[in-house]
């Protein structure tokens, strides 16, 4: 399966814990995007990364959220000290270059108890 | 401020008939529009796109129409099939090199056999 992979598919955390979401882009894609979908809402852009670089994090909350895309391995979206309002579906997408069609992974559904 | 609006949360259509999903936008800088289809517990799947230099794009049973003066686009599915039952998201970005997709809230299409 050469599609975008995300894991875990479901993640349950208690308030105050950390959540780590992983995304492996499609083969040949070096551009990764993270989106968040709150219940009954559309997807909202969070951050755009290339290998080892954050290009645009204008959609990321200013605190507790960070993202990386290291030279080796998947992209990671990290949420520290989670709160109930962080409960959402987090989708990763990738493309071969910026502006090209983005292909989405299956998402990680984060539930904060 | 919702820059991409899908005013119909749901739509039911008989199998074999035409499904028409509508989308309005407010940002005149949007230059490229996409439709994604999403099944429950899966990520959005790219369906069809259109550039602002065109007013129509067709791919098999799917046609997207763009009316720039009205800031309106629509997705036509004909004939509709039960497997088309899903949530359809309209998305837009500001053109060449742009990567931030702005999504509508989605329309849930149910195709009744």
Give residue-wise pLDDT tens across range A8-48: 999 999 999 999 999 999 998 999 999 999 988 889 999 99
Report d(CA B72, CA B33) in Å as an integer: 10
- A2 burial type by CB count under 10 A (0-12 exposed, 13-18 middle, 19+ buried): exposed
Q: Are the beta carbons of A102 and B97 separated by less than 8 Å?
A: no
User: Which residues make beta-bridge pairs with A54?
Assistant: A49
**3-class SS at B97?**
coil
Give phi and psi for A7, each to the nearest 5: -150, 150
Of B96, B97, B103, the CB nearest to A43: B103
Contact A104 B43 (CB under 8 A): yes
Rounded to whole angstroms, the Cα distance separating B93 from B80 reads 28
Q: What is the pLDDT of residue B96?
A: 67
**Closest partner residue to B46 among A31, A33, A103, by Cβ?**
A103
Residue A1 reports pLDDT greater than 60: no
């Amino acid at each position: 399966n050469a599609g975008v992979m995300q894991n875990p598919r479901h993640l349950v955390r208690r308030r105050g814990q950390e959540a780590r979401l992983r995304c492996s882009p499609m083969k040949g894609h070096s551009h990764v995007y993270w989106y968040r979908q709150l219940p009954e809402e559309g997807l909202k852009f969070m951050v755009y990364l290339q290998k080892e670089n954050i290009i645009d994090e204008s959609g990321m909350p200013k605190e507790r959220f960070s993202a990386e895309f290291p030279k080796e391995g998947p992209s990671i979206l990290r949420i520290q000290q989670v709160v109930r309002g962080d409960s959402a579906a987090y989708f990763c997408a990738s493309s071969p270059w910026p502006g090209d069609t983005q292909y989405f992974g299956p998402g990680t559904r984060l539930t904060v108890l | 401020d919702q820059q991409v609006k899908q005013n119909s949360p749901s739509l039911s259509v008989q199998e074999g008939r035409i499904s028409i999903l509508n989308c309005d936008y407010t940002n005149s800088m949007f230059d490229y529009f996409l439709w994604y289809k999403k099944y429950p517990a899966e990520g959005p799947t790219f369906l069809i796109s259109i550039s602002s230099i065109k007013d129509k794009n067709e791919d098999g049973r799917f046609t997207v129409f763009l009316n720039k003066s009205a800031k309106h686009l629509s997705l036509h599915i004909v004939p509709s099939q039960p497997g088309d039952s899903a949530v359809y998201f309209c998305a837009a970005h500001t053109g060449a090199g742009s990567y931030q997709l702005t999504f509508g809230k989605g329309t849930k299409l149910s195709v009744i056999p």
